[in-house]
Amino acid sequence: MGCDGGTIPKRHELVKGPKKVEKVDKNAELAARWKYCALSTEKLRRPIVACDLGRLYNKDAVIEYLLDKSADRPNSEVASHLRGIKDIKELNLTDNPAWEGERRNTKGDRYEDMHCAMFICPVVGLEMNGKHRFCFLQTCGCVFSDRALKEVKTEICHKCGDPFKDENLVVLNGTKEEVEKLREKMEGKRAKAKATKKSKKNKVAETVAKPSDSKENPESTETVSSEGQTSTRNGGDSSQPAVPGPPASSSTKVVTPSAATGSKRSIQTMEEKSETYKSLFTSHSSAKRTKDQTSNWVTHTPYHF
């Protein structure tokens, strides 16, 4: 079992100590979070979207996930909070002029800067490579660095000019504590939207039920007698005394003042319409000529001798 041929084993070859904890390269971790999709683990390409927790995705990958959630995916837990296309926001990113693309070092004879990012902050010019804190606005989707928002304090977007509030800011690829805060904010927002939707449904049901109740139990009606006197009949006790009049019978008609005025107006408008329609024809009185307007026809036959 070894040790033949005069070999002398060392202590670390014979005694097995505790395994060392593997350290993750920070540059590789930053590149995985800021240059690759969190769902499909593919390189980020436009259109790029972000969720309420600040994770970056390719839009086509999210759509495929929403269409078929039953498919086995390695990172399906990352997007488990996504219910629909409304839970993501397309980002309005600013291209980095120093970014040469993926084919800049095809031969392998050039230095490749791992910290060079595809996008930058449009205000300060910081690269979006994970070394600096970046945020996006839920209203318009524009992306800015945290330094730019602190140095230039305003309530209007620096890029598109849309107004926003501090509540609309979402940190991109934040720490665990920031992600937990964003999760609580997202759940509270969803609960509030659900409550408002439920209250709207209740209001619609109440408005639908009120007209049916008014038809079954009319509150007040007015009866018109032959002498022109009106008497009100209320469902409950009335504070004003009733106007004396003849007893109501089966022949009395119940007429409301709004209905009477509406019928008069409708009759008047119908007469005006018929009058204007008749005036289009020559048989109408307005088209006929009076005696003064008519002329006498005189025929003259000239004779040339």
For the segment 147-195, what is each residue's pLDDT rounded down to a tens digit? 999 988 888 998 898 999 888 999 999 999 999 999 999 999 999 988 9
CA angle 200, 203, 207 (to 5 degrees): 140
Give the per-residue pLDDT at 24: 74
Distance CA 260, CA 271 (A): 17
The phi, psi pair for 258, rounded to 5°, reads -65, -40
Which pLDDT band holds residue 146 (cuts at 50, 70, 90)? very high
- Parallel, antiparallel, or unpaired: how do β-strands 230-234 and 56-58 relate? unpaired
Residues 6+ apart with CB under 8 A from 164: 137, 139, 140, 155, 156, 157
Which pLDDT band holds residue 263 (cuts at 50, 70, 90)? low
Domain segments of the chain: what residues? 26-101+115-188
Distance CA 244, CA 226 (A): 13
Cα–chain center distance at 193: 12
Single-letter code of the amino acid located at 303: Y
Query: When comparing pLDDT for 108 and 77, which is higher?
Result: 77
> 3-class SS at 133?
coil
pTM (predicted TM-score): 0.59
Q: Which CATH class is domain 26-101+115-188?
A: alpha beta
Is 207 in contact with 178 (CB distance < 8 Å)? no
Which of 72-76, 182-186, 217-221 shows the lowest per-residue confidence on average (mean pLDDT)? 217-221
Distance CA 111, CA 84 (A): 42
Give the per-residue pLDDT at 91: 95
> Closest Cα to residue 252, out of 229, 220, 219, 218?
229
